[in-house]
Amino acid sequence: MSKPASPWSEEIELQVQFYDLDPMQIVWHGNYVKYLEMARCALLEKIGYNYVQMKESGYLWPIIDMHLRYVRSAVFGQRIKLRASIIEWENRLKIDYLITDGATGKRLTRATTTQVAVDLATGEMCFVSPPVLFEKLGVSPT
């Protein structure tokens, strides 16, 4: 059973390309990081806080942690869906990912990334997410 999507979710679909395959003719494990980035960028764009807007707001958001669990391999020509959902935002930006087969919905990969705000002016890591993130999500700081 999969988790319900967060109110801050975005889903994209893509077709696996030949250049993403490894010698075993499946998607090379490192390319899933690229797929996560594609879904994350679509999600950030949806909430109006993409990487350019982050920098303009005075914060960088480096990824400090990433977890991937491979269940099934994606193959050449397969249509896959990638869903990115914000699941934490108060002290960090944690995004949950689900990659599924586009036709059957079968799970291929689960993943999470964690990002923290870094003040652009000082280079200091913020221990609480800045107000701009709460504004973009339409929630009040707790």
Is 101 in contact with 80 (CB distance < 8 Å)? yes
How would residue 1 be classed by pLDDT, with cut points 50, 70 and 90? Answer: very low
Contact 84, 97 (CB under 8 A): yes
Please report, rounded to a whole number, the percentage of residues in the chain having pLDDT higher than 90: 93
Nearest Cα to 116, choosing from 36, 62, 53, 52?
62
Of 1, 6, 2, the closest CA to residue 84 belongs to: 6
Spatial distance between the Cα atoms of 98 and 69, rounded to a whole number of angstroms: 10
pLDDT of residue 3: 53
Residue-level pLDDT at 6: 76
**Average pLDDT over all residues of the chain:** 95
**DSSP sequence for 71-95:** -S--BTT-EEEEEEEEEE-SSSEEE
Tell me the pLDDT tens digit for each residue of 33-87. Answer: 999 999 999 999 999 999 999 999 999 999 999 999 999 999 999 999 999 999 9
What pLDDT is attached to residue 52?
96
What token pair was written down for 85? 């959902």
Q: Give the integer Cα–Cα distance in Å for 44 and 20.
A: 24
Instruction: Tell me if 129 sits within 8 A of 91, measured CB to CB.
Output: yes
Domains along the sequence of the chain with CATH: 9-137 (3.10.129.10)
What's the pLDDT at 7?
85
Q: Give the pLDDT of residue 141.
A: 79
Q: What is the pTM of this model?
A: 0.93
Average pLDDT over residues 21-28: 96
Mean pLDDT score, 112-134: 96
Rounded to whole angstroms, the Cα distance separating 123 from 126 reads 9
